[in-house]
């Protein structure tokens, strides 16, 4: 993930004074302490009195999936966002904080949504914990980290915790009650419920937060080292993405095999298409932004149709299309969003997760029509196609509306940060003092 090639920043004040920074950090500390403390008390009470052990046999394969996805979340997403040269600690460290919060909150929140929808499965109380319970939490965390990518460096830790709390409810409602519940849509790999929701929720939050500061624009630039670390995150995500898409099909040999094959083929397609188009648009030179992000677009797009029969060649073609859409998005869409709509997408999540997920969601209508006899579909062919289309529309609408409201709530917490894209405001280290002295000299 990375900033667009041309980021028009609006005029703002010059760098903040040391006193202003210290006052803001002190005010943030009180609020952050209250929020994190409240979350700990809530989840402690829930896990003490609301959970028990699952009577089902332990499956090593389920834990392997859990482990693979944790690598994606903590290392893949974390390092992918280290392209900001002065925000590496925030990229990796706050990714861990948000991941843990999302997993913890998702267990009670998703249980509540299942009760709300009247679903009979997994609604017993106390809730029997099993590994797939935490995998569902990882899906919620992935959605949150996608949204984080849109505002990374601009939202304070306090605001991020507020976003995590709000999004955990909205994500679970959209997934359990609307997309998979009321509509009964097919979305085994989360193109709609995870990538689409996370992207447009994050973009709406970014719109509510307003434009970044000119005084902080130099901090948002990547360096060669930070781009290398971002590419390390890309490779980790690439390797483990098939486990993510096939997570809910673990143990179902045929479906799991199809999910993995389709995901690998889609990733291969988006990777080769991204390299081809990036060097073509760059007149022989590759753009690190495209290679770090668009190469993964196939994994995003294939999610809704991963267990449907589309042939390996069809999955490869879908991945190629997703890669092309993503690269063109970074080249043309991001600058237009900033200029025309005032939406500033730090990591370009709209291009990696937004457009490819819309493409995958819409094409799932075609694949559903081709697989009308699939036993795992919830409706007959025509009804299922309509459900897929409505799932795309409702997910974008719910994500954008709830994201904008969440962004406005975030703005009411501790106000606007005096500096952006800078670890030194939130992290302690002697190297920050040395760097500050060096800049003064």
172 compared with 424, residue with greater pLDDT: 172
Least confident of 32-46, 252-266, 397-411: 252-266
Identify the pLDDT of residue 425: 81
Task: Name the CA radius of gyration of the chain, rounded.
Answer: 21
Identify the pLDDT of residue 72: 98
Burial 387-405 (b: 16+ CB within 10 A, else e): bbbebbebbbebbbebbbe
Encode pLDDT of 351-381 as tens digits: 999 999 999 999 999 999 999 888 889 999 9
Identify the pLDDT of residue 12: 44
User: Mean pLDDT for the chain?
Assistant: 89
434 compared with 356, residue with greater pLDDT: 356
292 within 8 A of 231, measured Cβ to Cβ:
yes
Q: Mark out the alpha helices in 152-283 (DSSP H runs).
A: 157-172, 197-209, 224-245, 253-281
Least confident of 77-86, 157-166, 216-225: 216-225
- H helix or E strand, kind and range, residue 51: strand 51-53
> Has residue 263 got a pLDDT over 90?
yes
**CATH number belonging to the domain at 18-425, selected among 3.30.70.930, 3.20.20.80, 1.10.3430.10, 1.10.760.10:** 1.10.3430.10
Nearest to 244 by CA among 172, 298, 181, 175: 298
Task: Report the pLDDT averaged over residues 333-350.
Answer: 93
Task: Report the pLDDT averaged over residues 140-159.
Answer: 95
> Has residue 9 got a pLDDT over 60?
no
* Residues β-bridged to residue 53: 129
- With residues binned 3-state (H G I as helix, E B as strand, rest as coil), the percentages for the chain, rounded to 5, are 75, 0, 25
Encode pLDDT of 278-288 as tens digits: 999 999 999 99
Nearest to 191 by CA among 331, 296, 273, 277: 296
Encode pLDDT of 89-139 as tens digits: 999 999 999 999 999 999 999 999 988 876 656 667 889 999 999 999 999
| 53 three-class SS | strand
Distance, in Å, from the CA atom of 10 to the CA atom of 191, rounded to the nearest integer, reads 33
| Separation in Å, CA 423 to CA 90, 154, 216, 356, 368 | 6, 11, 12, 31, 46
Least confident of 213-222, 229-238, 260-269: 213-222
Task: Report the pLDDT averaged over residues 267-277.
Answer: 98
The proportion of the chain whose per-residue pLDDT surpasses 70, expressed as a percent, equals: 88
Q: How confident is the model at residue 177 (pLDDT cuts 50, 70, 90)?
A: very high
193 within 8 A of 388, measured Cβ to Cβ:
no
> Has residue 18 got a pLDDT over 50?
yes
Output the pTM of the full model.
0.92
Q: Determine if residue 222 is left, alpha or beta; phi over 0 gives left, psi from -120 to 50 gives alpha, anything else beta.
A: beta
The residues near 221 (Cβ < 8 Å, ≥ 6 apart) are 3, 85
Nearest to 288 by CA among 195, 222, 354: 222
Residue 85 phi/psi, 5-degree rounding, is: -65, -25
Identify the pLDDT of residue 86: 86
Identify the pLDDT of residue 429: 76
């Amino acid at each position: 993930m990375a900033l667009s090639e041309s980021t028009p920043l609006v005029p703002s004040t010059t760098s903040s004074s040391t006193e202003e920074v210290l006052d803001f950090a002190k005010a943030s500390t009180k609020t952050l302490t209250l929020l994190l403390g409240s979350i700990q008390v809530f989840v402690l009470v829930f896990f003490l009195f609301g959970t028990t052990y699952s009577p089902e046999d332990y499956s090593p394969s389920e834990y392997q999936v859990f482990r693979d996805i944790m690598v994606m979340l903590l290392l893949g997403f974390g390092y992918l966002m280290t392209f900001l040269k002065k925000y590496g600690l925030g990229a990796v460290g706050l990714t861990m904080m948000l991941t843990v919060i999302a997993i913890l909150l998702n267990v009670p929140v998703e249980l509540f949504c299942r009760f709300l929808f009247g679903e009979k499965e997994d609604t017993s109380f106390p809730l029997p914990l099993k590994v797939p319970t935490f995998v569902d939490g990882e899906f919620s965390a992935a959605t949150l980290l996608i949204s984080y990518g849109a505002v990374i460096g601009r939202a304070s830790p306090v605001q991020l915790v507020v976003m995590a709390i709000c999004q955990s409810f909205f994500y679970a409602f959209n997934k359990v009650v609307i997309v998979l519940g009321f509509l009964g849509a097919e979305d085994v790999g989360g193109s709609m419920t995870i990538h689409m929701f996370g992207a447009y929720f994050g973009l709406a939050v970014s719109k509510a937060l307003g434009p970044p500061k000119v005084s902080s624009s130099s901090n948002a630039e990547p360096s060669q080292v930070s781009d290398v670390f971002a590419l390390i995150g890309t490779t980790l995500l690439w390797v483990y993405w098939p486990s993510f898409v096939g997570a809910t099909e673990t143990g179902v040999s045929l479906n799991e095999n199809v999910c993995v094959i389709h995901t690998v083929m889609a990733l291969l397609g988006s990777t080769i298409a991204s390299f081809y188009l990036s060097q073509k648009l760059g007149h022989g030179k590759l753009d690190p932004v495209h290679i770090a992000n668009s190469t993964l677009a196939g994994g995003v797009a294939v999610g809704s149709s991963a267990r449907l029969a589309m042939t390996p060649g069809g999955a490869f073609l879908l991945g190629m299309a997703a890669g092309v859409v993503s690269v063109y998005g970074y080249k043309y869409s991001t600058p237009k969003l900033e200029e025309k709509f005032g939406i500033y997408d730090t990591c370009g999540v709209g291009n990696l997760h937004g457009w490819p997920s819309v493409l995958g969601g819409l094409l799932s209508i075609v694949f559903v029509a081709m697989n009308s006899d699939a036993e795992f579909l919830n409706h007959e062919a025509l009804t299922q196609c309509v459900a897929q289309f409505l799932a795309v529309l409702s997910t974008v609408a719910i994500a954008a509306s709830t994201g904008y409201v969440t962004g406005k709530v975030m703005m009411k917490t501790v106000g606007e940060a005096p500096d952006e894209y800078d670890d030194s405001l939130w992290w302690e280290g002697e190297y920050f003092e040395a760097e500050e002295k060096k800049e003064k000299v």
